[in-house]
Each structure stands twice: as C-alpha cells, then as structure tokens.
Amino acid sequence: MGVPTRLAFSLFFFINVISDTIMLAKAQINTTLTPVNVGVILDMDSWYGKMGFSCIQMALSDFYASNSLYKTRLVLHVRDSKRDVVEAAVAAQNLIKNTEVQAIIGPQNSMQANFVISLGQKAQVPIISFSATSPSLTSLRSEYFFRAAQNDSAQVKAISAVVKAFGWKQAVPIYIDNEYGEGIIPFLIDALQDVDARVPYRSVIAPLATDDEISEELYKLMTMQTRVFIVHLSQNLSSRLFTKAKEIGMMSEGYVWIVTSGIANSLSSIEPSVHDSMQGVLGVKTYIPKTKEIENFAVRWKRTFQQENPNITNVDLNVFGLWAYDAASALATAVEKVGGENLGSDQQMNASSNLISQNGPKLREVLLEARFRGIAGEFSLPNGQLRSSTFQIINVNDNGERVIAFWTPENGLRRKLNSMNSTGEYSTSMNDLGPIIWPGDQTSVPKGWEIPTNGKKMRIGVPVSSTEYVNFAHDLSTNTTHVTGYCIDIFNAVMESLPYTVRYEFIPFAKPDGRIAGTYNDLVYQVFLGKFDAVVGDTTIIANRSKYVDFTLPYTESGVSMIVPLRDSRRRNAWIFLKPLSWDLWITSFCFFVFIGFVVWLLEHRVSDDFRGPPSHQIGTSLWYAFSTMVFAQREIVISNCARFVVIIWVFVVLILTQSYTASLASLLTVQQLQPTVTDVNKLIKNGEKVGYHRGSFVSGILQEMKFKESQLKEYESNEGCDELLSKGSANGGIAAAFDETPYMKLFLRQYCSKYTMAASIYKTDGFGFVFPIGSPLVADISRAILKVTEGEKMKKIESAWLHKQTNCPDSSNTQVSSDSLSLASFWGLFLIAGVASLSVLIFSISMFLYKERQHIFIPFDPDQGSIWSRLCHILMIFDGKDLSSHTFRRKALQDQRSIDSAHCAGASEASTNIKCFACTSSYSAQTDNHPAIFLESPETPSREYGDPSTMNCQLSQLATSIELVGYPNQERQKPIEIDLKNS
C-alpha cells in the first residue's frame, strides 16, 4: 500500500470518526428535547387555511433550524373546523381536554374565535389568532386571547380620511351579517361622523346570500341618492358582489367603491374575472415594507405550497400568511422561555380544577412581553393586540393595483411615506392623493350622490294657502291641483339652474276635503318621517325644526315683526314752534348768537362809534346785532374787514338754519303726522292687551315665550281678518297689535299702508328656506343655486310679479310715519366753520392790537407797585379807547380841524414850530386830577391823532382850548391825544 493510499484511508477514517461523534452528540441532544403540544384550528379546505398552516410549518422549521440548541419543540395538532362555528368549538374542547395543548393557533375567522376564546379563557390556554380581525372580539375582555393581526377598527380612520378628502357627505356600508361584519360598523360610523359624513342606510348581506339576493340589494341601492359604498365582506361574498354590480351597471361613472383591508389584502388571489369587475375600486391595505427577506420567503413558500397543493394555482402570499408565520415564531419563543419540563409533563392539566392549565398564566405573561422583528415587521402584543401600522390607499386598475397614498395615525394621508410632515399635522387633503381612475374609466372625482334614475319623482310637499307666497288651487271640474306663488317660482328657477335634471311633483299637505292637514311644523315633520322628499313654501328656518330636517340657504329676509295702527299726532299747541329743532340745536344756536355778537363787538369797539358807549348800551348793541342777522335787519355798520369776514360766514349759517327751520315747521303744521299707537311689546304684556297671530304659525309659541297669556292671543286667517281685529281695538273685542313674519307683514302693509305700520321686530329668524331630509346631498347644490338666482335678474322678475304689484301705497320700507326734529348732527359742520373762522379772526385782531400798542402796553412798571392785574387793567384801558389811527376817526378829526381853524386859529402864526402837544390823562394822574395834562415832546415823536401836521398853525394854548371845545366824552379822555404842530 503506497503512501497516498494510506493517507486517503487515514483521512476517510478520521472523517468517519468525526461524523460518528457528531451523530452521537445529536442523538444525545435529541434525547433531551421536550415536545410541547400546540393546537391548530383552521378551515383546512379553504385557501386561507392551507396558506396559514403552510406558513406555520415553515415558521417552526426556520425557527428551530436557527435555534437548534433550544430544548423545546412545538408539536402541532391540526383540527379542521370545516368552516363551522360548532366544529371549531368542538375541536378546541378536544384539544384542551384530550390532547392537553398548551396553546391554540387559530381559529380562522371571527365567528369561530368567539367560542374558542371563551374556552381558552376558562381553561387558561392562550388562543393566538392571525386572521380573526373583528373589533367585537376585544369586547370579550379575555386575558388569554392574542390577536396577531390588525384590528379592523384600526382602518376606519383611513377610510374616513379618504371620504373627507373628496368631500363626500354620505356613505353606505355594505357588510356581512355576522360578527366579522357587525364588529366594524360602530367604529366606522363614528369615524364618518367625525368628518361630517352620514350613513343614511346600512346594506347587510347574509353569509349564505344567493346571487339573486345580492342583486336585489344592489338594485335597492341604485334607487337611493348615495353613490359611495364601503364594502366589508368575506372574499367569497365580495367577489360575487362586484361581479353582480358590474352586470347591473353599478361599476360605471358616478359610483365610488371602497373596500376594507380584509378584501384589499387578498386582491392578489382573486379570480381575473372578479378583478376585471373591480376596476376603479379604492381599497385600504395593510402596508408591509418590501424586504429581501420577504421576497426570499415568498419564493420558498410558493414552491412549497404548490408541491403540497398541486391543484391550487395562481396563489400569492399575503399579509395573513406573514402574520401566521410571526405568530408561530412568537409562540415557539415563549414556550422556550417558560421551559419545557412542566410544559411537557402529563400532569399539566389540573383535573380537579376543571381542566385548567397550570402553565397558561406563565405562557401568557411571556407572550405579552414578546418583542422582536418579524417577517411582517415589528411584532409585539401589548394588551394582546398587534400594534396598528401604516395603511396603503390603493386603486384597482388593469391587472393589478396602484398605491395612491399612505395613511398613518399620526400624519393622515401622505403621497409618499418618507414625506411625513415633521410638524405632525394630520392631513385629509385631496392634494396628498395620487391620480385615480374611477369606475367607468373616469378621472374626474364623483360627487358621491346622484338623483335616482329609476323614473321616480321627488315628492315635494307644499302648504295649502292662498297668499302671494304659495297659492294652492284645486280644480273640481278636472280634479287637478295648481300650485303657484313666489316660493314656487323661486324653487322652479333654482331647479332649472342645477347642472343636472331632477324630476319632482308638488303634493299638497291637505286632508281629503282640501283643508290643510296641520301646522307648518307638522308639514316639516313629514320630511323627517319620509312621507315627503322635500317641502317648498313659506317655511321659516327656525332652530326647533332644524333638529329634524336640513334647510337650504334662505331666499327672503328674516324676522318676526309687530303691526300696530297709526294715529295722527299733530297737536295744536302754543309750543309747536319749538319742535322743528332739537334742544341741543336750540342751545347751540343761542350760544353761537351770543358768541358772534361778542366777536363782532371786539372787532368793532375801537373803530366804530356804533359799538361804543355805556356798558349796557354796548351789550345790547352786540346782542341786537347778532340776533338781527336772523332776519337780515342789522342797521349797525360793520367797518373792519375782519368783522365783515365773520359776519359773512355767520349770515350763511343763519340762512341755512332759518330755511331748515321754516321747512320743518311747515311740515309739522301741514303734513299729517302718523305715529304708531304702541311701540313697546312689554307695554302690551303689562296692560293685558290682546294681540293676534296667523293661524298655524309658529309665532304663537314665540308670544307665549314672551309671557303673553292665552287669553291675550287671538288667531286670524287672512289679511282682511287681521284688519278687522285691528280696527276694533283690544277694548272692543279686537287686538291692539298683530305679530307675524316680516315678509307677510310687508304684504299686509301694501294693502293697508295708510292705517298701520311695522312698529318693531321682536324675533330673529333666518327667513324662508326649502326643507330636505338631514344629510341630503341636494341641500348644498340647491343652496348654491339659490345664491345664483337671487343675485340675478330672475329674482327681480319674480319679485315684480308677486310682491311688487301695482298699489297706491308707497313702499312700506321707505315710509316715514313721523317727522323728527332737526338735530345738531345735521348742522355741526356749519357751526364748526363759523367757530373756527371767528376764533381765527379774533386771534389775528388781538395780535395786531398788541403789536400796534406795544409801546404803551409793554412799558416798565414799578415792581413794588405794579402787578399782573394792574398790567391787565392797563391793557383793557388802552383797548377801551378809540383807535384814532383808523380811517373813520381820521376823517372825523379832519372835519373837526377845519371847524377849529375857521373859529379860533385865523391869525395864529406865532406858534412855535416843531412843538408837539399831548393832552392825556394817564391811569396814574386820573386819581388826583380830572384835567388833561399837557406834555411837550420833541419834534421826532410821531403824531397819533391828526396825521399830517403841516396844515396846523394853532398855538398851544389855542389848541388846548379847542380840545375843550370839541367836547370828547369823559370816558375818552383817558385815551392820549397827540397833536403835532409845525410851522407851515
């Protein structure tokens, strides 16, 4: 034997030894493994059951392959529930009692789980389901139920977000009549209400419904207005439903179909014909991130599944298989953590305790603490529930599905998952959704409702009345009814302006004998009862009615008003001449007359003899002058330009004031002054006066709320009846006032404008509106159409035809029943102009005076003897004197000079030149001597009395005598008189 041969033999022997050693070690390990019995309850003849069981087997195989040193091994005991609730319950009881399983995976659906969970709770055996998603199972409050799948209630917010994004106001759920279908409905309705969407109808499909029964239900849905349907059915029922929906034309334009996650998660396994029937459907699908691990597992699973089930083709793994895989892995991990000695013993069940598992509580605690990264994502079961994750919003198109958005509880809808708003703002905007192909291969968003196309007309209830608003007439010869009026014409115009056609007919709310069948509240309530599809007429929008129906926007003005008789308030009394002006205007006018007189006196006192003299004479002259401007009869001559400016403005003010007074007084004396007999509603209540209201109106309730007694209320049926009651008066069996809605009161005033007036508005309403059932999709469109009609020319034509008929009465809205006094508010601008002008001129005049007399006013005073009061008296004395430099007194002085020259100064040539004579009496010399003092000044001192001195040749003594002969009044002697004498 050569060396190579010996080496090969030695290597082979060494390998065999090692192999035998490994096999011996494995055998030794296998002798220490602890089998743990676990039950599996599934519908083994269904595709879901086969897929779930296949994933469970692969999960355990992968788990123990990667954890070969674990001491426990799950031993699966499979039971077929045969799609029956009783079979599932019997299987669970057999597994717990006979097989003594430590846990049960399953059952497959929510109906079976309801019973199995109760058994597990009683025996303290954990029940782990990967496909029972009904929220109703949570209400069982079982500590031993673990849902390794998403609760169906987690997706309702995603559905409501889609509904809100497109602005749909109604949606009809179509669900299966069992625990699976009913469990989601309360949560779905609450979520829709949160986005202002209503559920007008619930479509319930029996689990064993035939195709004919499904078609019958779909035809029923076609007769309704709502076109948004939310489908929550089993895969079998949903496939049949959409096939029938396409056959009868409900997968066409205008329809919206939204499927829940139970259907959306299984779209990949439906038949191609069913998929073709679901074109345009939206779905909420559980989001599972695409990873390499999932792709590899899907390939392995599909190969294994087809080997085990060669008769099943076209299968794809979905999220329920992934959840089954993770549920089995979680249970295997929990069993290993609890330990295998007790779990594997034959004494695990306590017979004396009615088959209660002693290891169940430990296993339950470990399952609650399970945390790992599963094949479907993060796996944890807080409170026994799988945490909610992200949903995809998908759109079924062509041969597949397209993701149009993602939804998360924190951020709502997002176009891309990685574009979540960092601010955490919850979005329900349509802008966050991708493009959608709707049923009928349409790209425009359906409005969510349509008028039924089965030929049925809308039943429009109308009140039986004979007013301009609604005029109902019955032709006995032809047994036909005719409804006309203002409200009817507006409704017809509104319906014509809609972008679609609505067929309707008017049905009177009347008894067989033609009389009205009830009040307006009764008529509105018929819509709530479903006897009428709408109500058109003079129906007022009030809060109590809005509890039962929806109103459109109002098309008339609102409010409840009071009508009372008019009386002529002209009074022939001695003081009526004071009524044209209000007291504030009288007082202001008087003050301004006094003020203007004072201003004119200040401006004229130094330059005009008319405003000089004793104080009483000056006061009287000033007031006389000011008040005489009312009749423009002032005889005093105004000399200064400043005074003339003030008088011009004041005369303009007086002219406007007197003309207004004359016009108002003439109106008071000649025009009939109509005043309401009552203006205060509380006075009617206090005095116990009787009041009236229209029969059948809601106004009676308002009057009673205002504390009117029943004995004070009287009904009337027509305008004529109201006029008769008002004419009698409350004391004679009539009424003192009538209450009705403002539109009716305006029609009444057009008929009796000279006798009554609208005294007050006592109640606020929203006017007339059309009535529809709560949540009706027509309300929004008709409200918009009302705005379009009321803002156009059509509304004017309707009003002209019914409300603005020929009448001898003026428009009641513009009629004035009384003449108010003129107030200061109408003339304050004139007084402001006069006041500002007078003050400006006064300030200017005083400034000029101070500047002109500055040499005599601002002379130095002895600090010991002088004071502010002395200086003020000195200024007033100077102001009280004449301004001899004015042209008025200069002209008078020249005349006096000529008379003096002719009488006393014929030959006085010896008078020295350049001598100035001053005759003055100062405030200081006046205390000791009443004669004027003569002061001599230098020739440079300017003259202040006679101007040019070249014409005077009088001697100083002769001039003094002449001054005495002139005879100036004593009050003027205090004014210094300066005479400048020069030789000619």
pLDDT in tens, 570-608: 555 677 777 788 888 888 888 888 888 888 887 877 777
Residue with tokens 């609890």: 338
Give the model confidence (pLDDT) of 886-920 as tens digits. Answer: 666 666 666 666 666 655 544 443 333 333 333 33
Q: Which secondary structure element, helix H or strand E, spans residue 978, and what is its range?
A: strand 977-981
Q: What band does 771 get if pLDDT is binned at 50, 70 and 90?
A: very high
Beta-carbon count within 10 A of 608 CB: 23
Helix axes 110-123, 179-194, angle to 10 degrees: 100
Q: What is the CA radius of gyration of the chain?
A: 54
Look at residue 402 and give its three-state secondary structure.
Answer: strand
Give the model confidence (pLDDT) of 164-184 as tens digits. Answer: 999 898 999 999 999 999 999
User: What is residue 269's predicted lDDT score, i.e. its pLDDT?
Assistant: 82
The CA distance from 496 to 484, in Å, is 16
Phi-psi region of 518 (alpha: psi -120 to 50; beta: other; left: phi over 0): left
User: What is residue 887's predicted lDDT score, i.e. its pLDDT?
Assistant: 66
Beta-carbon count within 10 A of 346 CB: 6
For the CA atoms of 661, 663, 669, 670, the dihedral, rounded to the nearest 10 degrees, stands at 180
- 34-149+290-345+356-384 is a CATH 3.90.660.10 domain: no
**Residue-by-residue DSSP string for 427-490:** B--GGGS----BTTTB-SPP-SB----SSPPEEEEE---BSSS-EEEEETTTTEEEEESHHHHH
Lowest-confidence segment of 45-54, 798-807, 913-922 by average pLDDT: 913-922
* pTM of the complete model: 0.61
Q: Is 3 exposed, middle or buried (0-12, 13-18, 19+ CB in 10 A)?
A: exposed
User: What is the 8-class DSSP label of residue 96?
Assistant: I
Give the model confidence (pLDDT) of 117-128 as tens digits. Answer: 999 999 999 999
> Across 518-656, where does the E strand assignment appear?
534-535, 549-551, 560-568
User: What is the 8-class DSSP label of residue 834?
Assistant: H
User: What is residue 904's predicted lDDT score, i.e. its pLDDT?
Assistant: 53
Provide, rounded to the nearest whole percent, the portion of the chain with pLDDT above 90.
34
User: What is residue 778's predicted lDDT score, i.e. its pLDDT?
Assistant: 86
Q: What band does 676 get if pLDDT is binned at 50, 70 and 90?
A: confident
- 562-569+674-764 is a CATH 3.40.190.10 domain: yes
The CA distance from 667 to 236, in Å, is 90
Q: What is the mean pLDDT of residues 708-735?
A: 89
User: What is residue 950's predicted lDDT score, i.e. its pLDDT?
Assistant: 37
Q: What band does 863 get if pLDDT is binned at 50, 70 and 90?
A: low
| Nearest residue to 568 via CA among 671, 662, 684 | 671
Lowest-confidence segment of 193-197, 264-268, 452-456, 517-521 by average pLDDT: 452-456
Write the secondary structure of 120-148 as one string of H (helix), E (strand) and C (coil).
Answer: HHHHCCCEEECCCCCHHHHHHCCCCEEEC
Q: What angle do CA 895, 901, 907 make, to 5 degrees?
A: 170
Among 281-290, 747-756, 766-775, top mean pLDDT goes to 281-290
For residue 637, pLDDT over 60 is answered with yes
User: What is residue 316's predicted lDDT score, i.e. its pLDDT?
Assistant: 83
Write the secondary structure of 792-814 as one string of H (helix), E (strand) and C (coil).
Answer: CHHHHHHHHHHCCCCCCCCCCCC
How far, CA to CA in Å, does 425 sit from each of 345, 412, 428, 551?
Answer: 55, 8, 10, 34
Q: What band does 817 get if pLDDT is binned at 50, 70 and 90?
A: very low
Q: What is the mean pLDDT of residues 558-564?
A: 85
Provide, rounded to the nearest whole percent, the portion of the chain with pLDDT above 70.
79
What are the residues facing 104 on neighbouring strands?
39, 127
The CA distance from 455 to 439, in Å, is 23
| Nearest residue to 790 via CA among 511, 367, 527, 489 | 489
Give the model confidence (pLDDT) of 291-301 as tens digits. Answer: 899 999 999 99
Same fold, 34-149+290-345+356-384 and 152-289+390-432: yes
Which amino acid does the sequence have at 273?
Answer: S
| Nearest residue to 327 via CA among 100, 112, 74 | 74
Q: Which fold has domain 152-289+390-432?
A: Rossmann fold (3.40.50)
| Nearest residue to 716 via CA among 692, 733, 743 | 692
- CA 316 to chain CA centroid, Å, is 51
Please enumerate in sequence order all residues whose Cβ is within 8 A of that of 250, keeping only pairs 6 or more positions apart, or say none. Answer: 218, 221, 222
The CA distance from 303 to 325, in Å, is 16
- 458-557+773-789 is a CATH 3.20.20.70 domain: no
User: What is residue 10's predicted lDDT score, i.e. its pLDDT?
Assistant: 53
Among 348-357, 498-507, 671-680, 780-789, top mean pLDDT goes to 780-789
Q: What band does 27 get if pLDDT is binned at 50, 70 and 90?
A: very low
Beta-carbon count within 10 A of 299 CB: 11
- Structure-token pair, residue 8: 């090969």
How far, CA to CA in Å, does 352 sit from each of 355, 356, 385, 489, 868?
Answer: 7, 9, 32, 85, 123
Half-sphere exposure (CA, 13 Å, Cβ side) for 320? Answer: 29
The residue extents of the domains of the chain are 34-149+290-345+356-384, 152-289+390-432, 458-557+773-789, 562-569+674-764, 576-670
**Residue-by-residue DSSP string for 174-226:** EEESSHHHHHHHHHHHHHHHHTT-B----EEE-TT--HHHHHHHHHHHHTSSB
- Structure-token pair, residue 164: 């809100």
For residue 864, pLDDT over 80 is answered with no
Among 188-192, 224-228, 303-307, 450-454, top mean pLDDT goes to 188-192
- Residue 935 φ/ψ, nearest 5 degrees: -120, 140
Say how many residues make up the chain.
984
Chain mean pLDDT for the chain: 80
User: What is residue 672's predicted lDDT score, i.e. its pLDDT?
Assistant: 55
For residue 981, pLDDT over 50 is answered with no
